[in-house]
């Protein structure tokens, strides 16, 4: 697939992930559907990101640039944080959503500016 298709899919999946996480944080009671959907979408973010890496010429077997390592780390933290926060931080859901949006914002900044490129 072309680079643009992977990029569009990646962006759509990020929007769906944030939307699903927001619904998990603010819905009473939280449906398992949203937890499952958010987990599936977080995996699809990873798949589309791997496709983007291939189109950018980044080998999956060689060392990745530091900004990609940082994005993958942020993705793992956000994917784990969203369902945990939805269950354990009900009283602090605004703070949890702010943390999630901060993580997503940092990941977006890394994708746009690509600091620490090798």
What percentage of the chain exceeds 90 in pLDDT?
Answer: 66
Q: Is the pLDDT of residue 38 over 60?
A: yes
- The residue extents of the domains of the chain are 3-113
pLDDT tens by residue, 11-36: 999 999 999 999 999 988 878 898 89
CA geometry: angle 56, 57, 61, nearest 5 deg: 125
Tokens of 95: 């703070």
Q: How is residue 7 annotated by DSSP?
A: H
Residue 118 has pLDDT above 70, yes or no: no
What pLDDT shows up at residue 62?
80
């Amino acid at each position: 697939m072309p680079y643009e298709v992977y990029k569009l899919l990646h962006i759509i999946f990020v929007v769906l992930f944030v939307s699903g996480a927001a619904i998990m944080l603010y819905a009473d009671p939280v449906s398992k559907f949203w937890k499952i959907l958010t987990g599936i979408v977080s995996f699809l973010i990873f798949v589309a990101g791997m496709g983007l890496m291939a189109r950018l010429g980044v080998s999956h077997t060689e060392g990745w640039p530091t900004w990609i390592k940082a994005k993958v780390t942020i993705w793992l933290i956000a994917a784990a944080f969203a369902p945990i926060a939805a269950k354990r931080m009900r009283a602090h859901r605004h703070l949890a959503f702010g943390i999630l949006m901060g993580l997503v914002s940092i990941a977006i900044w890394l994708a746009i500016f690509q600091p620490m490129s090798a």
